[in-house]
Structure 1
Amino acid sequence: MSNEFYAVHEPILDRDYCEQPTHLSRYPALILVHHNREIIPAHWHAGLEINYVVNGTGTVSIDSKIERLHPGKLCIVSPYSIHSFVTENDDGRPPLILSISFDGKRLQRIYELADRFLLSPYAASATDEDRHAISERCLAMIDATTQIGAETSLKINALLYEMLYLVYRRFVSGTRKHHITSHSKGTMQPILGFIESHHTEQLTEENAAREFGYSREYFSRLFKENIDINFKEYLTKLRLEDAYQQLMYGNVNKLATIANDTGFPSVRSFTGAFRKHYGLTPLAYRKAHLDI
Structure 2
Amino acid sequence: MRHEQSPKKLPTRHITPVIIHPVEKDVIPEESTLLITAPSSDAQRGLLFPLRVGRFAYAPGFRLERQRFDSFLLGVVTEGMLHATIWDNGEKLQYEVRPGHVFLFDTYRHHEGRSDCLTRTSMIHFDGIAARTYYERIAATSHGVFPLGNTSFMENAIDQLLDTYTQDQPQTDLIGARILTDLLTDLALRSATSEDDGTLAVRETIGFIDTHFAEKITIPMMAQRAMMSQRQYLRKFKALTGTTPYSYLVSRRMDESKRLLAASDMPIQEIARIVGYPNLNAFTTTFRHRFGLTPMRFRGTTRPGTIADLLDSGHDH
| Range into which the TM-score falls when normalised by the shorter chain | 0.3 to 0.5
Instruction: Give TM-score, length-normalised by structure 2.
Output: 0.37
The structure that has the greater radius of gyration is: 2
